[in-house]
C-alpha cells in the first residue's frame, strides 16, 4: 500500500438516525502506522463512526475514504482489505472456531491451506486450542470475543478497526491483545479502536480522539491532552465530557429507590 496516502480520511461526516443527529460534521485524518484510541461517553457516536468506515452504515453525508477507497463506491474492497472486530460478536454459534475461521478466511480470499495452517496456531495463542472443535454456542463471552479478534485480524490487514475489542476479556487476555497491537504497530499496521478502558487507551495509543455527542472535542497524544487538564486519561475524559458531580447523587438516588422496595 502507499504509505504516503492517509489510511483514513473523513471530511464533514454527518449521520442522522431519524431525527437524531448522531455524527455532526466530523473531520479526521489518520496516517499510516498509528494506534488511535477513539473514546467517548455511551451513545457519543463511536460505533457509528467505525461502522461507517467499514461500509456498514449508509445514508451519511460527507466524504469517507479508507485505504484510498471512497467507501460509498468501494465498500466491498474496504471490507475485504480492512480488519474489523464489531462491538457485539455476531458469531455463527453453531459453528466451531475452526469452521468459523475457515468461513471468514474464505471471505477474505485466503486459501484453505493457509487458513488450516494458521487457525489452530491463533486459537492456541488465545488458549482456545482445546476448544477448536467445539460449537461456539457453549463458549463464554470472553472466548467468543477471542474468536472474533482472531477472525478480524487473520488476513493480516494493514488497517485494523476494533470496536470495544477488550470487552469481556480477562486481564491476561487484555495484556495479550495489548502486546499484539503493539507488535502490529511496529510492523507498520494502523489500528483504530474504541474502548472504555481508559488505562489501556492511555498506555497504548499514539493518538487519542475524544468524541462527545457526535463531535470531536479533543485530538492528540496523551501528553497533548494533558496540556488542558492534568491527571489520568480517566480524569481528562471526565473533565472533557461533562460534569461528574451528579454521579454520587445519582448513586444515592438509585439506592434510595431500592430502599423503598423493602
Q: How far is the CB of 54 from ligand ATP (least distance, A)?
A: 13
Q: Which residues pair with 26 in a beta bridge?
A: 13
Q: Which of residues 80-139 bind ligand ATP (CB under 6 A)?
A: 87
Q: How far is the CB of 135 from ligand ATP (least distance, A)?
A: 28
Q: How far is the CB of 166 from ligand ATP (least distance, A)?
A: 13
DSSP 89: -
Interface with ligand ATP, residue 22, by CB under 6 A:
yes
The beta strand positions in 96-181, using DSSP E, are 159-163
Q: Which of residues 48-77 bind ligand ATP (CB under 6 A)?
A: 48
Nearer to ligand ATP, 17 or 92 (CB): 17
For the record, the C-alpha cell of 243 comes out as: 460534569
Nearer to ligand ATP, 122 or 197 (CB): 197
Interface with ligand ATP, residue 13, by CB under 6 A:
no
Report whether 218 contacts 208 (CB < 8 A).
Answer: yes
Nearest 5°: the CA angle 7, 10, 15 is 135
Report whether 211 contacts 44 (CB < 8 A).
Answer: yes
Nearer to ligand ATP, 28 or 110 (CB): 28
Q: How far is the CB of 118 from ligand ATP (least distance, A)?
A: 30
Q: Which of residues 144-203 bind ligand ATP (CB under 6 A)?
A: none
DSSP 56: -
Q: Where are the alpha helices (DSSP H) in 108-160?
A: 112-125, 141-153
**Continuous segment of H or E residues that includes residue 194:** strand 190-194
Residue selected from 47, 119, 148, 190 as contacting ligand ATP according to rule CB under 6 A = 47
Report whether 179 contacts 208 (CB < 8 A).
Answer: no
Interface with ligand ATP, residue 45, by CB under 6 A:
yes
Q: Is 186 helix (H, G, I), strand (E, B) or coil?
A: helix
Q: What is the distance, to the nearest Å, from the Cα of residue 170 to the centroid of all Cα atoms in its chain?
A: 17
Nearer to ligand ATP, 57 or 154 (CB): 57
Nearer to ligand ATP, 40 or 83 (CB): 40
Q: How far is the CB of 177 from ligand ATP (least distance, A)?
A: 18
Contact residues for ligand ATP, defined by CB under 6 A: 17, 22, 40, 42-48, 87
Amino acid at each position: 500500500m502507499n504509505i504516503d496516502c492517509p489510511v483514513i480520511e473523513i471530511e464533514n461526516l454527518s449521520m442522522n438516525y431519524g431525527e437524531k443527529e448522531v455524527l455532526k460534521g466530523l473531520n479526521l485524518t489518520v496516517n499510516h502506522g498509528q494506534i488511535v484510541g477513539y473514546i467517548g461517553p455511551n451513545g457519543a457516536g463511536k460505533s457509528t463512526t467505525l461502522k461507517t468506515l467499514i461500509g456498514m452504515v449508509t445514508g451519511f453525508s460527507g466524504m469517507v475514504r479508507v485505504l484510498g477507497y471512497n467507501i460509498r463506491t468501494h465498500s466491498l474492497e474496504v471490507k475485504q482489505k480492512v480488519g474489523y472486530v464489531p462491538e457485539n460478536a455476531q458469531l455463527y454459534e453453531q459453528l466451531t472456531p475452526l469452521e468459523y475461521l475457515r468461513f471468514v478466511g474464505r471471505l477474505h480470499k485466503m486459501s484453505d491451506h493457509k487458513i488450516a495452517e494458521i487457525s489452530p496456531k491463533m486459537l492456541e495463542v488465545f488458549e482456545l486450542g482445546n476448544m477448536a472443535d467445539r460449537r461456539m454456542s457453549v463458549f463464554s463471552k470472553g472466548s467468543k470475543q477471542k474468536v472474533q479478534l482472531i477472525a478480524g485480524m487473520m488476513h493480516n490487514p494493514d488497517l485494523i478497526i476494533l470496536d470495544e475489542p477488550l470487552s469481556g476479556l480477562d486481564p491476561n487476555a487484555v495484556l495479550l491483545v495489548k502486546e499484539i497491537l503493539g507488535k502490529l504497530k511496529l510492523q507498520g499496521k494502523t489500528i483504530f479502536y474504541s474502548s472504555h478502558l481508559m488505562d489501556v487507551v492511555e498506555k497504548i495509543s499514539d493518538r487519542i480522539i475524544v468524541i462527545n455527542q457526535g463531535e470531536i472535542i479533543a485530538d492528540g497524544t496523551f501528553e497533548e491532552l494533558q496540556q488542558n487538564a492534568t491527571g489520568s486519561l480517566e480524569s481528562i475524559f471526565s473533565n472533557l465530557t461533562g460534569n461528574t458531580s451528579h454521579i454520587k447523587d445519582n448513586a444515592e438516588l438509585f439506592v434510595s429507590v431500592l430502599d423503598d422496595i423493602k
